[in-house]
Amino acid sequence: MDDKVILTVATTGAWPSKEDTPYVPLQPEEIAEEIFACYQAGASVAHVHVRDDDNKASMKYEKFEQVVKLVRDRCDIVLNLTTSGGLGFSDEERMKPFIELKPEMASYDCGSMNWAHNSVFINSPSFLEKLGPAMRENGVKPEIEVFDAGMIYNALYYLKKGILDSPPHFQFVLGAPGGMAATVENLVFLKSLIPQEATWSALGIGRGHLPILYTALALGGHIRVGMEDNIYYSKGVLAKSNVEFVERSKRIVAEIGKKLATPDETRNILGLRKSN
């Protein structure tokens, strides 16, 4: 599988609005339609956020339920549900979607941080020590999201304590205000800290999107694209669909002599159990 690259698409996120870009999908039907189109273009994992009826950041279970059903009815893309669809939600609200819907993956944000210089993104030790075992009990693989180097050391601690299982899978999120900048040097450094048996992926927010994508591929990692992280296809040009990011990534992967992994190849690489 050394010639296969896992491509995750994050279509929605918690922050882009229709005022930022009219093309971002926000409600279940349009999110599911976008995920299916990205699957057809080559994405093998969908990182899912939802919004409430006012298009605000949400962990509303019914919205996740709708998206998951609509996607599962159409394709077998690997579903990765967020556990942090915004700020200020209770532990129970953050965990219910993966407990009830049992996707193959869910996010595990491995530490707290100042967010966007105006708020705090809280992932307390008590929450993380609860989250890991709950994912294990429900057959869900944690995607360990890393915004700075300290979060890797948190993950190594939880691996040692048995809160997380090995081999882990890391998602390096670079360029978030309050986290590490989206630079080649930072990605090389973060990659050097993780266990040899770990799998990993990376993304750059905004203008860091392409430099991090190219660096991840050069280092043998996997990649994530989508409007959660970047709404511009090029400087000043809005992407008209998440599919545009997927198609460009597929071309870049082909140029280096590799191929995008299928959903089943992704399951094999990450050691996932297939959802019902």
Given the structure tokens 């050391």, which residue do they identify? 153
> Which token pair is 170?
């890391």
**Cβ-Cβ contacts under 8 Å for 50 (sequence gap 6 or more):** 12, 28, 31, 58, 59, 60, 63, 64, 67, 85
Confidence of residue 275 (pLDDT cuts 50, 70, 90): low
Q: 88: how many CB neighbours lie within 10 A of its CB?
A: 11
Confidence of residue 276 (pLDDT cuts 50, 70, 90): low
Q: Is the pLDDT of residue 273 over 90?
A: no
Q: Write down the mean pLDDT value for the chain.
A: 97
> Domain 4-270 is classified in which CATH homologous superfamily?
Aldolase class I (3.20.20.70)
Of 4, 10, 166, 165, which is closest to residue 77 (Cα–Cα)? 10
Q: Is the pLDDT of residue 8 over 90?
A: yes
Residue 109 has a pLDDT of 98
pLDDT > 90 in the chain, percent: 97
- The 3-state DSSP class for residue 34 equals helix
Confidence of residue 178 (pLDDT cuts 50, 70, 90): very high
Confidence of residue 138 (pLDDT cuts 50, 70, 90): very high
> Which token pair is 169?
């899978």
Phi first, then psi: what are they for 183, rounded to 5°? -120, 155
Q: Is the pLDDT of residue 118 over 70?
A: yes
How confident is the model over 79-101, as a mean pLDDT? 96
**Cβ-Cβ contacts under 8 Å for 201 (sequence gap 6 or more):** 6, 8, 169, 170, 171, 172, 216, 221, 222, 223, 224
With both helix axes pointing from N to C terminus, report the angle between 28-41 and 242-255 in degrees, rounded to the nearest 10: 20
Residue at 186: amino acid letter: N
Confidence of residue 2 (pLDDT cuts 50, 70, 90): confident
Q: Per residue in 191-224, pLDDT tens?
A: 999 999 999 999 999 999 999 999 999 999 999 9
Residue at 34: amino acid letter: E
Could you tell me the residue ranges of all domains in the chain?
Answer: 4-270
Strands 141-146 and 119-121: unpaired
Residue 157 has a pLDDT of 98
- The 3-state DSSP class for residue 131 equals helix
CA 72 → CA 30, 121, 242, distances in Å? 14, 31, 19
CA 134 → CA 64, 109, 189, distances in Å? 18, 14, 30
Q: CA 237, CA 240: separation in Å to the nearest integer?
A: 9
Q: CA 107, CA 211: separation in Å to the nearest integer?
A: 23
Q: Per residue in 228-252, pLDDT tens?
A: 999 999 999 999 999 999 999 999 9
Residue 135 has a pLDDT of 98
